[in-house]
């Protein structure tokens, strides 16, 4: 049985470029799979109530072969492409108006007994011979890889809105956590073409998760590897393949400074404010992020450091950021420097200097003279990756932004 539907791309499934986003793609696939399995009376609720089992996602690969824009019509086909003793594959294909495959997905599922939590044979959960697998329309192959977490990029707490009917973290939330590790501008310049997710465990409301990059990531080849951990156990692995190459003009030596550059670029390309980004790190984990939002917020105090401090204090639930380190693309202005000191941040690493900022028209140096300079803070403030951060100014000039 094939589920065939004709529809258009809704705005809620689109990204900043008004095209189907990765999160939106997963949502469409999940909705179609759920509806198709419902038509066959083997959906999740039937599985729980009738067979005392639950369906678990094992892995899912989505290939975004052609972009689909908001309101663009498409035809969707969803069907079971293979049935094994303990698992099944469900394929989903979206075709555009020219009948070209825009999206192809393969989702592998298995059923787990609610009482014993052991795998169930597919024949015991409704796949008893009355349902026949369809011939696969697209060739979709899973990849094998070893995911070794390298650097923690972010921490997130599972909230009530992330929970599905099995009281686990829903799969869409995991994808959202992963996609949030890149700025919107990066997604625009280098769109995702393939994403493959391998599920290794379950998490629940209130759990704190670590989003990690993994060894083997090669941005020059557009391949990124991620892992999500809970209590040092991997619950999800993910491969992302993107178009194009990263901007090699801006490549920092320090990984946290690279994150500040990504923040600054998002602000530059979005027109939010000056070419400055910041992250706050505690115990090797990024707990706060921000970029200059002066123009976007019509707020002269919305510098990147201030935004990052507010973000970190909200996430940590405290105004005391002792034990934290600030990384920022530009030496903090007097306002930000005093805010950093008030927050009890242990150390500051910066890229461009106050004098560098003056070269592109920012007035930090004047205010610094009024406050008596910062000679006493030489050990507290350390300059790193200056050359990389200076290249942000070139990007900023190209965008023809003004100063303020």
Taking Cα atoms as reference points, which of 167, 176, 163 lies closest to residue 211? Answer: 176
SS3 sequence of the chain:
CCEEEEEECCHHHECCCCEECHHHHHHHHHHHHHHHHHHCCCCHHHHHHHHCEEEEEEEEEEEECCCCECCCEEEEEEEEEEECCCCEEEEEEEECCCCCEEEEEEEEEEEEECCCCCEECHHHCCCCCCCCCCCCCCCCCCCCCCCCEEEEEEEEECCHHHECCCCCECHHHHHHHHHCCCCHHHHHHCCEEEEEEEECCCCCCCCEEEEEEECCCEHHHCEEEEEEEECCEEEEEEEEEECCCCCCCCCCCCHHHHHHHHHHHHHHHHCCCCCCEEEEEECCEEEEEEECCHHHHCCCCCCHHHHHHHHHHHHHCCCCCCCEEEEEEECCCHHHHHHHHHCCCCEEEEEECHHHHHHCCCCHHHHHHHCCCCHHHCCCEEECCHHHHHHHHHHHHHCCCCCC
**Annotated catalytic residue, options 77, 259, 305, 313:** 305
To the query of whether residue 135 is one of the catalytic residues in this protein, the response is no
Taking Cα atoms as reference points, which of 205, 244, 243, 209 lies closest to residue 226? Answer: 209
* 79, 32 Cβ separation under 8 angstroms: no
| 366-370 contacts, C-beta under 8 A, 24 or more apart | 367/333, 367/334, 367/335, 368/333, 368/334, 370/334
Q: So which residues are the catalytic ones? A: 305
């Amino acid at each position: 049985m094939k589920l065939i539907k004709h529809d258009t791309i809704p705005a809620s499934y689109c990204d900043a470029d008004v095209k189907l986003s990765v999160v939106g793609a997963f949502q469409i696939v999940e909705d179609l799979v759920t509806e198709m399995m419902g038509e066959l009376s083997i959906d999740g609720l039937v599985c729980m109530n009738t067979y005392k089992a639950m369906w678990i996602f094992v892995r899912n690969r989505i290939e975004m072969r052609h972009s689909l824009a908001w309101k663009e019509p498409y035809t969707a086909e969803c069907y079971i492409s293979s049935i094994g003793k303990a698992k099944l594959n469900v394929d989903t294909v979206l075709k555009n108006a020219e009948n070209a495959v825009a999206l192809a997905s393969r989702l592998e599922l298995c059923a787990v007994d609610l009482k014993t939590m052991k795998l169930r044979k597919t024949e015991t959960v409704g796949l008893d011979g009355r349902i026949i697998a369809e011939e696969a329309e697209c060739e979709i192959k899973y990849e094998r890889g070893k995911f070794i977490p390298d650097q923690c990029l972010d921490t997130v707490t599972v909230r009530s809105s992330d929970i599905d009917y099995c009281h686990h973290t829903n799969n869409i939330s995991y994808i959202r956590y992963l996609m949030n590790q890149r700025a919107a501008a990066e997604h625009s310049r280098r769109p995702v073409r393939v994403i493959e997710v391998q599920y290794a465990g379950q998490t629940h409301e209130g759990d704190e998760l670590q989003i990690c990059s993994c060894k083997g990531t090669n941005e020059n080849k557009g391949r990124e590897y991620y892992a999500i951990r809970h209590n040092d156990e991997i619950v999800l692995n993910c491969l992302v393949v993107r178009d194009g190459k990263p901007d090699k003009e801006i490549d920092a030596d320090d990984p946290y400074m690279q994150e500040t550059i990504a923040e600054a670029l998002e602000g530059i390309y979005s027109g939010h404010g000056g070419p400055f980004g910041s992250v706050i790190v505690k115990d090797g984990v990024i707990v706060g992020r921000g970029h200059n939002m002066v123009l976007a917020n019509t707020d002269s105090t919305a510098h990147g450091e201030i935004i990052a401090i507010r973000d970190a204090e909200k996430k940590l639930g405290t105004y005391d950021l002792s034990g934290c380190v600030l990384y920022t693309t530009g030496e903090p202005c007097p306002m930000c420097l005093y805010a950093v000191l008030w927050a009890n941040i242990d150390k500051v690493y910066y890229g461009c200097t106050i004098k560098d900022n003056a070269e592109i028209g920012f007035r930090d140096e004047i205010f610094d003279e009024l406050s008596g300079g910062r000679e006493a803070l030489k050990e507290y403030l350390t300059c790193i990756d200056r050359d990389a951060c200076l290249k942000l100014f070139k990007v900023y000039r190209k965008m023809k932004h003004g100063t303020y």
